[in-house]
Amino acid sequence: MYKRISIILFTILLLSGSNALAQRGKKHSKSTFDYEMRAGVNFCQIDGDGSGNYDKLGWHGSVNTSFPIGLDDALRFQVEIGLTQKGSHVNQIDRYISLLYLEVPLLLSYNTMENRLRIMAGVAPAILASSRVTTDGAYDKLQSENYKRMDVLPLCLGVRYIFTEHVGIDLRYYNSMLNTAKENGTGTYRIFRSNKGQFNRLLQFGITLKF
């Protein structure tokens, strides 16, 4: 059900962008969609699980499109869909937490330096596709089932720089604002004290292909 909702949301946003561009007509004849593919490595941790370093490696891959929402092409709305691996390594008990999400970042972006540099900010709601936790090398069923179906409100900040006509690099920072665990023995909190538990935090570094 959640995957269907994400696909429907993605389609609606694309159609809305097409309609907005059509309405601008001749005044913005240069306004177009752009398309990109991204892939790379994640440096992950979970705030509230007893660890404190970005020492769990993951990966990500996605496609995105953006369309102008201002008077020129600089200010844009970017919609993305992809897979990303979050998690952490709790050194004290040798626990590896691996969480695979289907995510849909919704970002406000600004292009500068002749469209080579893009600065972006927004949210990246994500649906949990799979979770696997091992403790001392053994599969931990109880902990593996302790993560919520959705990471509803991760904030996302990023920059992307295109070196050639089609190839560039990007860097992003993600930080979940709502608790992602079902039950929490200790944990930390975000925004307000009742919002207590575990929160994904990660740095992404990747390669971008622009079409």
The single residue listed with the structure tokens 């079902």 is 182
Residues 6+ apart with CB under 8 A from 107: 77, 78, 79, 80, 120, 121, 122, 124, 156, 158
Our measurement of the distance from residue 146's CA atom to the centroid of its chain's CA atoms, rounded to an integer in Å, reads 21
List, for the chain, all residue ranges whose pLDDT scores fall below the cut of 70: 1-31, 52, 185-186
Q: How far apart are the C-alpha atoms of 21 and 14, rounded to whole Å?
A: 11
Q: What local confidence, expressed as pLDDT, does residue 11 receive?
A: 54
Q: 164 Cβ partners below 8 Å, 6+ apart?
A: none
Supply the pTM of this predicted model.
0.83
Q: In this structure, what is the dihedral angle of CA atoms 8, 150, 174, 189, given to the nearest 10 degrees?
A: 140
The pair phi, psi for residue 116, each rounded to 5°, is -75, -40
Instruction: Classify 141 as helix, strand or coil.
Output: helix
User: Half-sphere exposure of residue 154, counting CA atoms within 13 Å on the CB side?
Assistant: 30
User: What is the pLDDT at residue 20?
Assistant: 47
pLDDT value, residue 31? 54
Q: Please name every residue paired with 173 in a beta bridge, in sequence order, or none if there are none.
A: 157, 203
